[in-house]
Amino acid sequence: MARLEVNRSGELEVFIRVIELGGFSAAARACGMTPSAVSKLVARLEQRLGSRLVNRSTRQLQLTPEGCAFYERGASAHSAPRGRLRVNANVPFGHHFLLPLVPGFLERHPDVTLDIVLTDEVIDILEHRTDVAVRAGPLKSSSLMARKLGQTRMVIVGAPAYLARQGMPATPDDLQRHNLLGFNYVRSQQGWPMRRDGVDTVVAVTGNAQASDGEALRCLTLAGLGLARLAAFQVREDIAAGRLLPVLEDFNPGDSEEVHAVFVGQGGYLPLRVRVFLDFLVEKVAI
């Protein structure tokens, strides 16, 4: 990018870049300036306004209330969202919802650059400098903000070839002779919950393969290795096509997992690129 002319309008543009790109160095690269020049420009802007706009630390910048108000006014004047948007999502949501939506989002917001990481591991979004993380299951109490995207029931499934070979389970007790595929990390719900005659029980998952994400388990199940308990949205096309069959639905307790987009929203500040992405997810995702 050509070097930005730094007048008062340029000061505002640089300040917005600092906030939306997450630091002086990234803003300096975007504006064709040095990090020290950007830092001095923000300090000069603060001096002229008579207010501290950002609290600086070695890890991150945090807007002050005055900085938040100034940013909101400036971003309204520069209404097109821009900058790098770091998104973390669990693998099933990423494959079935997020990735198919990327072209439409970038067509609507061409000045945003998406940086996507798919993993079923729950990350610290502050440590990983993530703008939005999509999480399934109960939310832990934290300072993070959240928007609900939907919820999905869980279902046990198996491939027709596997069930023809091993037999269709008739009761939860029959699972003892089946290969049950599970996750290789600790989950909030250990085992598979069942409900028989109004009584809830949990079946331990014992099988000869584990995986780090739901899509890997789906692939193993499609290959006929065993049974897996997965989100209904993840396997509904497979069930409709006959590639997988639901198992023990009469004993399904009907539990579901909520899916949320979580993000940092301290002091009411939310970068425009984050706000439009959250709105887009809420608009387009139908779980």
pLDDT in tens, 48-79: 888 888 887 656 677 888 888 787 777 666 66
Report pLDDT for 169: 97
Q: Which pLDDT band holds residue 25 (cuts at 50, 70, 90)?
A: confident
Lowest mean pLDDT among 2-11, 61-70, 160-169, 258-267: 2-11
Report the pLDDT averaged over residues 155-172: 97
Report pLDDT for 147: 93
Q: Yes or no: is domain 152-255 CATH 3.40.309.10?
A: no
Tell me how far apart the alpha carbons of residues 21 and 19 are, in angstroms, rounded to a whole number: 6
Percent of the chain's residues with pLDDT above 70: 90
Report pLDDT for 195: 95
Please, where in the chain does CATH 1.10.10.10 lie? 8-77
Please, where in the chain does CATH 3.40.190.10 lie? 83-149+258-284, 152-255
The yes-or-no verdict on residue 185 having pLDDT over 50 is yes
83-149+258-284 belongs to which homologous superfamily?
Periplasmic binding protein-like II (3.40.190.10)
pTM of this prediction exceeds 0.85: no
Name the fold adopted by 8-77.
Answer: Arc Repressor Mutant, subunit A (1.10.10)
Tell me how far apart the alpha carbons of residues 254 and 252 are, in angstroms, rounded to a whole number: 5
Report pLDDT for 3: 39
Which tens digit of pLDDT belongs to each residue from 220-247? 999 999 999 999 999 999 999 999 999 9
Higher model confidence: residue 255 or residue 185? 255
Report pLDDT for 158: 98
Higher model confidence: residue 87 or residue 125? 87
The amino acid sitting at 148 is K
Report pLDDT for 2: 37
**Rounded alpha-carbon distances, angstroms, from residue 234 to 18, 95, 202, 261, 278:** 39, 9, 22, 18, 21
Report the pLDDT averaged over residues 102-113: 95
Q: Which of 19-23, 34-38, 123-127 has the highest mean pLDDT?
A: 34-38
Report pLDDT for 29: 83
Report pLDDT for 75: 64
Report the pLDDT averaged over residues 164-189: 90
228, 221 Cβ separation under 8 angstroms: yes
Q: Which residue has the tokens 């903000």?
A: 145
Query: Residue 142: CB partners within 8 Å, gap ≥ 6?
Result: none
Report pLDDT for 6: 43
Report the pLDDT averaged over residues 239-260: 95
What is the token pair recorded at 108? 């609507």
